[in-house]
Amino acid sequence: MPIFKQINKTRVPVKIFTEDIAPQAIDQLVNIANLPIVHHHVAAMPDVHLGIGATVGSVIPTLNAVIPAAVGVDIGCGMNAVRTSLTASDLPDNLYQVRSRIESRVPVGFNWHKRSVVNRSTVNGLDKPLDELVGKHPAIMKMLKGFNHTWHRQLGTLGGGNHFIELCLDENDDVWIMLHSGSRGVGNVIGRYFINLAKKDMQRHQQHLPDTNLAYFSEGSQHFTDYVMAVNWAQEYAWVNRQEMMKLVVDALKASSLPNFTLTKKAINCHHNYISHETHYGERVIVTRKGAIRAGQDELGIIPGSMGARSYIVKGKGSAASFCSCAHGAGRTMSRTEAKRSFSVRDLEHQTSGVECRKDRGMLDEIPGAYKDIDQVMANQADLVDVVHTLKQVVCVKG
């Protein structure tokens, strides 16, 4: 099915690709659609759910303006996946040692590398534009302890929350490596800094907003230019972070008792919290995908389920109504606090049966029951993507 709901009593329409949407999320979409900077309509993906200011799972095309809070603080967060020459029969019956090997190579949660693991040319390529940015906005450096060595050492690290590293089996029992992470601490402080700066700018100009978290920068202003530069830098950082993690995971697997293997399919790497300059409905716009991936015609993407469900490699259909976009995952149905209150460790053990992963209270906020049914999400976006591969995780590493 195509669009399930459409809201028309707004400045521009809202097109929603699901019936499973909370009233609070609809309120947020209405607020966005009433902004004077939004072009043509707002699209909400099947995994849509409540966010801060802007709805997670929303695609927002803007004319000559950008909304920092719509991008959020995990700038450039996204996915990386690659198929290996390994098959299910190459994996041991007990995968605990495999998970431990990965965790020993890739710092998770609040941990990072004791020294930079990235080659000097890569760091140098990131250094110059960041120096220019913090030269204009030195307060950014004060927001992250040990700013320079921290961002260096966090390259190639996972972080916490819903970020993960997985080994998965596809429909042919081929083994895939899949991971999910973003721009770490440096992306977080860049996001928070510019969100607050946008709020101050709009207060200074006495511009009314339905939600202060929807404060935006208009093109032509210095802060607009600086933010676009900052978000592009953070997106590149997130991209490199995932590439470096993938190398470390491959090294960890090669150092284990698994047979020798190669990577047999070019890696798929896609952002799902980012901005992009694109043309839609006859206008050159800035598209903000907040919890959505690009799904242009024949473009490959990754849509993960929860840590106990299937994930998908997809090929985009280039849908105009979704601004060539699709869902970025299953989407939460309850907050982390609610999940911890509603489920037990026994529930977690049951819902992640067959997956080698942590099964303790620290993982309850990521329990599959806190997420939408990924199969229903996929059914709701049959007009947006075709499924190329169906993956089921057998190892899941989280922070």
Number of folded domains in the chain? 1
What does the pLDDT read at residue 123?
A: 83
46/51 Cα distance (integer angstroms): 15
Look at 205 and 384; give whichever has higher pLDDT.
Answer: 384
Mean pLDDT of 31-41: 97
Does residue 345 lie in a domain region?
no
pLDDT tier at 190 (50, 70, 90 boundaries)?
very high
What does the pLDDT read at residue 144?
A: 96
Which is the catalytic residue, given 49, 328, 350, 389?
328
What does the pLDDT read at residue 120?
A: 82
- Beta-sheet pairing, 42-49 with 14-16: parallel
Structural domain range at position 187: 5-333+371-398
* 1, pLDDT greater than 60: no
The CATH number of whichever domain residue 276 belongs to comes to 3.90.1860.10
What does the pLDDT read at residue 176?
A: 98
pLDDT tier at 124 (50, 70, 90 boundaries)?
confident
- What DSSP designation does 260 have? P
Sign of CA dihedral 196, 199, 203, 204: positive
SS (H, E, C) the chain: CCCCEEECCCCCCEEECCCCCCHHHHHHHHHHHCCCCECCCEEEEEEEECCCCCCEEEEEEECCEECHHHHCCCCCCEEEEEEEEEEHHHCCCCCHHHHHHHHHHCCCCCCCCCCCCCCHHHHHHHHHHHHHHHHHCCHHHHCCCCHHHHHHHHCCCCCCCCCEEEEEECCCCEEEEEEEECCHHHHHHHHHHHHHHHHHHHHHCCCCCCCHHHCCEECCCHHHHHHHHHHHHHHHHHHHHHHHHHHHHHHHHHCCCCCCCCECCCCEEEECEEEEEEEECCEEEEEEEECEEECCCCCEEEECCCCCCEEEEEEECCCCCCCCEEECCCCECCCHHHHHHHCCHHHHHHHCCCCECCCCHHHHHHCHHHECCHHHHHHHCCCCEEEEEEEEEEEEEEC
For the record, the structure tokens of 305 come out as 């389920």
Predicted confidence (pLDDT) per residue in 323-372, tens digit: 999 999 999 999 999 999 999 999 999 999 999 999 999 999 999 999 99
pLDDT tier at 130 (50, 70, 90 boundaries)?
very high
What does the pLDDT read at residue 262?
A: 96
Does residue 187 lie in a domain region?
yes
Does residue 197 lie in a domain region?
yes
What residue type is assigned to position 356 of the chain? Answer: E
Contact (Cβ atoms closer than 8 angstroms) between residue 179 and residue 238? no
Predicted confidence (pLDDT) per residue in 76-108, tens digit: 999 999 999 999 999 999 999 999 999 999 999
Does residue 233 lie in a domain region?
yes
Rg of the chain over all Cα atoms, to the nearest angstrom = 21
Does residue 338 lie in a domain region?
no
* 164, pLDDT greater than 80: yes
Describe the strand order of the beta sheet including 300-303 as a list of residue ranges.
268-271, 78-87, 174-181, 164-169, 385-398, 310-316, 300-303
What does the pLDDT read at residue 399?
A: 81
- Count Cα atoms within 13 angstroms, Cβ side, for 82: 17
Token look-up 């929860």 returns 306
Does residue 175 lie in a domain region?
yes
> What's the mean pLDDT when you consider all of the chain?
95
What does the pLDDT read at residue 208?
A: 85
What does the pLDDT read at residue 121?
A: 81
What does the pLDDT read at residue 205?
A: 78
Does residue 350 lie in a domain region?
no
Q: Which residues contact 93 (CB under 8 A, 6 or more apart)?
A: none
Predicted confidence (pLDDT) per residue in 255-303, tens digit: 998 999 999 868 999 999 999 999 999 999 999 999 999 999 999 999 9
Q: Catalytic residue at 328?
A: yes
Does residue 361 lie in a domain region?
no
